[in-house]
Chain A
Amino acid sequence: MTDFHKGLLAVNDENLSKESSSLAAIATLNKSGKESFLQQEIPTRKTEAWKFTSLFGFTSNEEGYGRLAASYDAAGLDALTTIPALDAQRLVFVNGQFSAELSSKESVANVVRFSEANEAQQAIIADNLGTAIEQEKHIFAALNNATTTDGVLVHVGKNENLKTNIQITHITTAQANPFTVQARILIVLETGAEATIVEHFASNSDEQNCFVNAITEAKVGPNARLNHYRLQLMQEGSIQIGGVHVDLDRDANYDSFQLGLGAKIVRNDINVNHNVGGSHCELVGVYLPQNKQLIDFHSNIEHKIANCTTKEVFRGIMADKSKAVFNGRIHIHPDAQKTLAELSNKNLLLSNDATINTKPELEIYADDVRCAHGATIAQLDEQARFYLRSRGISAAEADVMLSFGFINELLENLELDAVRNLIRPILAQRFGRDEELMQHIG
């Protein structure tokens, strides 16, 4: 047990003394989370699931991250928390604390903070919170369980199609001392329900010194559909760890898009459980580290039962001295006959100093399944490059257009135009880095 380890829990005491109206369900979660967290070691390079991801930049911080932010000032943040043209019910948190000022004025009955939940909603929280997470396998989920004091519940009732998109934004600002944000979302969709949720992580442009530990849990009921976007647009100094844990009931659908634009260290664990049968999950993700950023996506899809499908496509482009890690595990249990699973991971390295560690991991214990996986690390396509150049486009601009296209191809199928329109100009800047070269993309 290190001081750093214990230090991360200190935020708990500070929180609990501040908020007296903590729900019983949260108190229970905190207790079990604390026990689990203290039993686990902070991962090192010797920990299998962290083999390629060094937390040194996190654990070497002598001050530690075991405190809350000193300021929750919302001034000047409005534009940064807005996704233009997205029609959404917006909840905004500044440095971890809810900001009524930046959030939508009217409320939607389906969305409530834990601390404001009515009796029925409290019962839903008590029944579901923590149930999709195996905290003994995910130390940072255990930490979130241990230290979370509030969160957001999205609940959609039987056969209700929640037409309003839900946007949940966490924005951080630089503080005098390093600090922690524990973000928590619980999504519960009843039978036949449908919802679209956009998680959005942003920061102001100052050099950040926060550690954001964001855990989202989703319980997708029979025949329900969850459309989930998770957009990481934080400044490079941030550290973001966390993940998404999803339980799929019979014939449920989970459709997700993950964007990792990077921070100093980003680690996302995506866990999806096909629990009952007939469910479908579609994961699309892109990651684009630059400079010295590190982005790590670890997905783990559990096919526990027959007749479920998974389609997973991740693409990344690594620039400068950055690094990305992709580990895509699909675990097909003995009872999971008639599983269809596809996993594709393609990567482009833009510099000789950039690194990618990619590993598709199919573990198959059933005999009547169809699975395909592929991981590639490639250069830009020479044929396409020549085609563009033969039309007068310079080699430099051709490279920018092809890099953009490599990622943009995955954006074309996004349901929400506003999300695509938010990301495209950012992509153009990432690859163009020069007005001349980005004028024909984005």
Chain B
Amino acid sequence: MLTIKDLQAKVEDKDILKGLNLDIKPGEIHAIMGPNGAGKSTLGNVLSGREGYEVTGGSAELEGKDLLDLDPEERARLGLFLAFQYPVEIPGVSNLEFLKASVDSVRAAQGKEPLDSVSFLKLARAKCKLVDLDQSFLKRGVNEGFSGGEKKRNEIMQMMLLEPKLCILDETDSGLDIDALQVVAEGVNSLRDPNRSFIIVTHYQRLLDYIVPDFVHVLANGKIVKSGGKELALELEEKGYAWLEDAAENGAS
């Protein structure tokens, strides 16, 4: 599904990713953990094509297609989805209009006709229900005045509507209470599919109690320094990251 080789990227002249390798097969869930400033969010931003993140080396391919050469909208149409850590508020643009524009674009890229307004509204309402958002949120401005939890649920709803191939959740658990966390996790679990993969970027092991990963990677100092199964997350919870960072420093020198 996704193959990342020796990926290097910088932000404002500062090297953040320093040779990251990752191979994700269809249907797998990979958790990426690591200390602050390790480059976790940078990975999601680089993969989705945000401006200001300059790729200086390496490659990233989604189903064999070079992602790094594409505009953000082209990547989304290929099936890449980034659930934002801080979803953006866009007053004046209704959530429903936004969702329809998004779904229509992705469908068009797949050679499908746009859904008519009535069918789309029906579909959007059904998805609202699944993530426990009141239907009134469809009429409001995109994320406008939403609480932290509502914004994250709105992200999961978009994921459900777009049915992407690769979902990257960038610290989706930050700022969520336990109830919202469960709603988000249930949303993600409902989307698990042999043809869909996930990258879950998180600080804490807590989310992984609800979304059980196939692999856990530790990202430190711009590289993956350790990989393992779901039990690695528990080990990290217990020991912290310092021992791995030290190992990485020593390994590098």
Interface residues of A (CB under 8 A from B): 381-384, 386-395, 397, 401-402, 404-410, 412, 439-441
Q: Smallest Cβ distance from A439 to chain B, in angstroms?
A: 8
CB distance from B100 to the nearest CB of A (A): 6
CB proximity to A under 8 Å, residues B61-97: 71-73, 75-77, 81-82, 84, 87-88, 90-93, 97
Which residue on chain A has the smallest CB distance to residue B87? A387
Q: In the A-B complex, list the 3 residue pairs whose CB atoms are closest, starting with the nearest.
A: A405-B92, A409-B92, A405-B93
Name the A residues within 8 Å of B93 (CB-CB).
401-402, 404-405, 408, 441
Most buried by B among A391, A393, A406: A391
Residue of A nearest to B72 (CB): A389
Contact partner of B90 (CB less than 8 A), chosen from A389, A390, A402, A407, is A402
Q: How far is the CA of A408 from the CA of B76 in the complex (A)?
A: 27
Q: Which residues of A contact B98 (CB under 8 A)?
A: 388, 391, 393, 401, 440
Residues of B within 8 A of A394 (CB): 73, 105
CB-based contact A390/B92 at 8 Å: no
Does B104 sit within 8 A of A, measured CB to CB? yes
Given contacts A401-B101, A405-B90, A405-B91, contact A392 B141 (CB under 8 A): no
Whether the Cβ atoms of B97 and A409 lie closer than 8 Å is: no
Given contacts A391-B105, A404-B93, 16 further A-B contacts (CB under 8 A): A381-B90, A383-B88, A384-B88, A388-B98, A388-B102, A390-B49, A390-B76, A391-B158, A392-B77, A393-B102, A395-B73, A401-B97, A401-B98, A405-B141, A407-B92, A439-B104
Is the Cβ of A392 less than 8 Å from the Cβ of B105? Answer: yes
Chain A residues near B129 (CB-CB < 8 A): none
B160–chain A nearest beta-carbon distance, Å: 13
**In the complex, chain B residues whose CB is within 8 Å of the CB of A381:** 88, 90
A-B contact count (CB 8 A): 94
Total count of chain B residues near the partner, CB < 8 A: 32
Complex Cα gap A407–B73 (Å): 24
Known contacts A382-B51, A440-B97, A441-B97; is-contact A392 B102 (Cβ 8 Å): yes
In the assembled complex, B178 has its CB within 8 A of some CB on chain A: no
Residues of A within 8 A of B49 (CB): 389-390
In the bound complex, what is the Cα–Cα distance between A384 and B86 (angstroms)? 11
Q: Give the complex CA separation of A391 and B105 in angstroms.
A: 8
Indicate if B166 sits at the interface (CB-CB under 8 A): no
Q: Cβ of A390 and Cβ of B72 under 8 Å apart?
A: yes
A382-B51, A392-B76, A440-B104 known; A387 and B90 CB under 8 Å?
A: yes
A408–B92 contact, CB under 8 A?
yes
CB of B106 within 8 A of chain A? yes
Chain B residues numbered 94-124 whose CB sits less than 8 Å from any CB in chain A: 97-98, 100-102, 104-106, 109
Query: Can you list 14 A-B pairs with a CB-CB distance of less than 8 A?
Result: A382-B51, A386-B50, A387-B90, A387-B142, A391-B106, A394-B105, A397-B105, A406-B92, A407-B92, A409-B141, A410-B92, A412-B141, A440-B97, A441-B97
Name the one of A384, A390, A409, A440 contacting B100, with C-beta atoms under 8 angstroms: A440
Contact A412 B92, beta carbon cutoff 8 Å: yes
Query: Shortest beta-carbon distance, B80 to chain A, in Å?
Result: 9
Whether A392 contacts B88 by the Cβ 8 Å rule is no
In the complex, the answer to whether B106 meets A392 with C-beta atoms within 8 Å is yes
